[in-house]
Chain A
Amino acid sequence: GDSVTQMEGPVTLSEEAFLTINCTYTATGYPSLFWYVQYPGEGLQLLLKATKADDKGSNKGFEATYRKETTSFHLEKGSVQVSDSAVYFCALSDSQFYFGTGTSLTVIP
């Protein structure tokens, strides 16, 4: 069946560092891919999405490209801020919705 595998955390970075959170997927069809972010004590917010191969989703300085050849959707940001500290979930939608296990990011000043 479909699944999402996400980079284990926690991840700790200094402010202005480059961020990559890896996400790979397994799917039988042509899924849409998402990144959600969950700040402490809050619900999940849709960060970005891509609906077909080679699409690039972007929002708030974060980017991810739908790579069908490597079945990946890695999240990147060029310069993280303390306010980016949160848990990031990669997700896939096909006939069902699948979440990765989440990656906790802490950015220190």
Chain B
Amino acid sequence: DTEVTQTPKHLVMGMTNKKSLKCEQHMGHRAMYWYKQKAKKPPELMFVYSYEKLSINESVPSRFSPECPNSSLLNLHLHALQPEDSALYLCASSQDSREGLAQTYEQYFGPGTRLTVT
């Protein structure tokens, strides 16, 4: 099974709302990722979790707050977003190593959450 699931599929939120995106995988992967993808562009890395610890934060604004409750789950908490944050948010997972070489392995992506900020 190489499935990564994400909920919700679509989300519309106002700039004062608080919402969360959820991601789950059951492949035994110990690295999980959040990406942001704008139309007609490649995914941009936001966060990497390695063995449930945040290992990379690509200078993402604090209105995005990731959380990794366990090795299968990854959340992205959203608060006070801006219209320019509207995008497809993708979760991915991969194998990892204790040497922090998660990004040497292939990544498996979920279907994404289409976020619209009004």
Residues of chain A having any CB pair with chain B under 8 Å: 32, 34, 36, 41-46, 49, 87, 89, 93-97, 99-102, 104
B40 surroundings in chain A (CB, below 8 A):
87, 102, 104
Contact A44 B109 (CB under 8 A): yes
Q: CA of A77 to CA of B76 in the docked complex: distance in angstroms?
A: 38
What distance in Å separates the Cβ of B6 from its nearest Cβ neighbour in chain A?
A: 8
- B residues within 8 Å of A by Cβ? 2, 4, 6, 40-43, 45, 88, 90, 92, 101, 103-112, 114
Q: Are B42 and A43 in contact (CB under 8 A)?
A: no
Task: Decide yes or no: A102 and B42 within 8 Å by CB, A95-B101, A95-B103 being known contacts.
Answer: yes
Cβ B107 vs Cβ A97 within 8 A: yes
Q: 14 pairs across A/B with beta carbons < 8 Å? A: A41-B114, A43-B4, A43-B90, A44-B90, A44-B92, A46-B108, A89-B42, A95-B104, A96-B103, A97-B107, A99-B43, A102-B40, A102-B42, A104-B40
Nearest-neighbor residue (CB-CB) of A48 within chain B: B106
**With contacts defined as CB atoms under 8 Å apart, how many contacts are there between chain A and chain B in the complex?**
51
CB-nearest residue of chain B to A44: B109
Residue pair A94, B109 in contact (C-beta under 8 Å): no
Q: Which residues of A contact B6 (CB under 8 A)?
A: 43
A94 touches B112 (CB 8 A): no
Contact, CB under 8 Å: A46 / B103: no
A88 CB to nearest chain B CB (Å): 11
Residues of A within 8 A of B41 (CB): 101-102
Closest to A36 in B: B109
* CB contact between A94 and one of B4, B42, B104 (< 8 Å): that residue: B104
* Known contacts A44-B90, A99-B43, A100-B42: A93-B105 contact under CB 8 Å: yes
Chain B: minimal CB distance from A39 (Å): 10
Among candidates A43, A89, A96, residue contacting B111 with C-beta atoms closer than 8 Å: A43
Minimum C-beta distance from A83 to chain B (A): 18
**A94 — nearest CB in chain B belongs to which residue?**
B104
- Contacting pair A97 B42 (CB below 8 A): no
Q: How far is the CA of A42 from the CA of B114 in the complex (A)?
A: 10
A66 to chain B, nearest CB (A): 14
